[in-house]
Amino acid sequence: MSQQQETADDTRYEPLLSVRNLTVEFETDRGRLRAIDGIDFDVQRGETVCIVGESGSGKTVTAETITKLIPMPPGQITSGEVFLDGRDLVPLSERDLRAIRGARIAHVFQNPEDALNHCFTVGWQIREAIQTHDDVGDTAARERAITLLDQVGIPDAATRYDDYPHEFSGGMKQRVVIAMALAATPDLLIADEPTTALDVTIQAQLLDLFDSLQQEYGMAILLITHDLGVAAELADRMVVLYAGKVMERGSVYDVFDRPAHPYTQALFDCLPGRGWALRTIEGRLPDLYHPPAGCRFASRCEYARAECSTGDQPPLYDVGNGQAASCVYYGPDGDPAALRNDRPGGDADG
Ligand X SMILES: Nc1ncnc2c1ncn2[C@@H]1O[C@H](COP(=O)(O)OP(=O)(O)OP(=O)(O)O)[C@@H](O)[C@H]1O
Q: Which residues would be at the binding site for ligand X (CB under 6 A)? A: 26, 28, 33, 35, 53, 55-61, 71, 74-75, 226, 288
By a kind-dependent CB cut-off of 5 to 8 A, residue 240 interacts, out of Ni ion, ligand X, none, with none
CB of 70 to ligand X, least distance (A): 7
CB-based contact 218:1 (threshold 8 Å): yes
Instruction: Choose the contact partner of 288 out of Ni ion, ligand X, none; CB within 5 to 8 A by kind.
Output: ligand X
Minimum CB distance to ligand X, residue 196 (Å): 9
Between 161 and 263, name the residue whose CB sits nearer to ligand X: 263
- 241-271: string of b/e by CB count within 10 Å (b at 16+)? bbbbbbbbbbbbbbbbebbbbbbbbbbbbbb
- φ/ψ of 312, rounded to 5, equals -95, 170
Least distance in Å: CB of 225 to ligand X? 9
| CB-based burial label for 86 (10 Å; 0-12, 13-18, 19+) | exposed
Measured from the CB atom, is 125 or 326 closer to ligand X?
A: 326
How many angstroms separate the CA atoms of 25 and 35, rounded?
6
Least Cβ distance, residue 344 to ligand X (angstroms): 28
Q: 61 is in the binding site of which of ligand X, Ni ion, none (Cβ under 5 to 8 A by kind)?
A: ligand X
Q: Kindly tell me which of 35 and 180 has the beta carbon lying closer to ligand X.
A: 35
Estimate to the nearest angstrom the gap between the alpha carbon of 105 and the chain centroid: 13
Per-residue x/- track, 4-43, Ni ion (CB under 5 A): ----------------------------------------
Find the binding residues for Ni ion in span 37-66 (CB under 5 A).
Answer: 59-60
Shortest Å distance, C-beta 65 to Ni ion: 12
Residue type for position 340:
R
- Rg (alpha carbons) of the chain, rounded to whole number: 21
- Pick 24 or 179: Cβ nearer Ni ion: 24
Round to whole Å and give the CA distance between 234 and 210.
8
Please say whether the beta carbons of 206 and 124 come within 8 A: no
Residues that bind Ni ion (CB under 5 A): 59-60
